[in-house]
């Protein structure tokens, strides 16, 4: 009887484990009457576990020396940006195209509106980038570090792109 109870509890425990973790969700909607929709939820703990099983050379990329130097100098800039009040930092308008970069709370928001109603929205969590930049002491970018950084984020749209009736959204839930 105890074995049966343990087996019955496994799906409940698995469901609770997934429900209590952050998910990276990629949601792609193809416009038009025969458009398709694909939603791919990836539990971040599962992504991290999978990365631990892949050979390390396959999940690393070399960061150019110039980028490492810029990252080292940018840590102070990110600290200052995190501490500054919310504000529009940059606005560029060129005909029917507009690019806006603003600080809102702990997020750097980048908005691009194109000529034909294309829209791109990117939200960059400042604290996550700051912690990530400070942790980079080498010339390697490890996928596991990116996943670990994303685990700090919750309920955040990272990327939202609309082009006509097509829509791609990447968010952490």
Contact 10, 146 (CB under 8 A): no
Give the Å distances, CA to CA, from 29 to 89, 100, 123, 146, 155.
32, 25, 20, 25, 20
The pLDDT value recorded for residue 167 is 96
Q: In this model, does residue 36 exceed pLDDT 90?
A: yes
Q: What is the pLDDT of residues 76-126, one digit of tens each?
A: 889 999 999 999 999 999 989 999 999 999 999 999 999 888 999 999 999
Q: In which band, very low, low, confident or very high, does the pLDDT at 16 lie, cut at 50, 70 and 90?
A: very low
At a CB cut-off of 8 Å and minimum separation 6, what does 172 contact? 22, 23, 24, 25, 44, 150, 153, 154, 155, 156, 158
d(CA 84, CA 105): 9
Query: Residue 103's beta-bridge partner residues?
Result: 87, 108
């Amino acid at each position: 009887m105890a074995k049966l109870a343990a087996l019955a509890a496994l799906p409940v425990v698995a469901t609770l484990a997934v429900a209590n973790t952050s998910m990276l969700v990629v949601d792609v909607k193809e416009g038009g009457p025969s458009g398709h929709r694909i939603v791919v939820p990836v539990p971040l703990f599962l992504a991290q576990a999978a990365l631990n099983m892949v050979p390390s050379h396959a999940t690393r990329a070399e960061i150019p020396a110039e980028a490492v130097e810029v990252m080292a100098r940018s840590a102070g800039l990110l600290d200052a940006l995190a501490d500054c009040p919310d504000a529009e930092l940059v606005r560029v308008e060129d005909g029917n195209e507009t690019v806006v970069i603003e600080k809102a709370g702990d997020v750097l928001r980048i908005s691009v509106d194109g000529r034909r109603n294309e829209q791109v929205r990117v939200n960059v969590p400042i604290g996550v980038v700051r912690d990530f930049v400070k942790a980079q002491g080498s010339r390697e970018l490890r996928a596991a570090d990116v996943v670990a950084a994303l685990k700090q984020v919750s309920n955040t749209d990272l990327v939202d792109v609309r082009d006509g009736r097509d829509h791609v959204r990447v968010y952490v839930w």
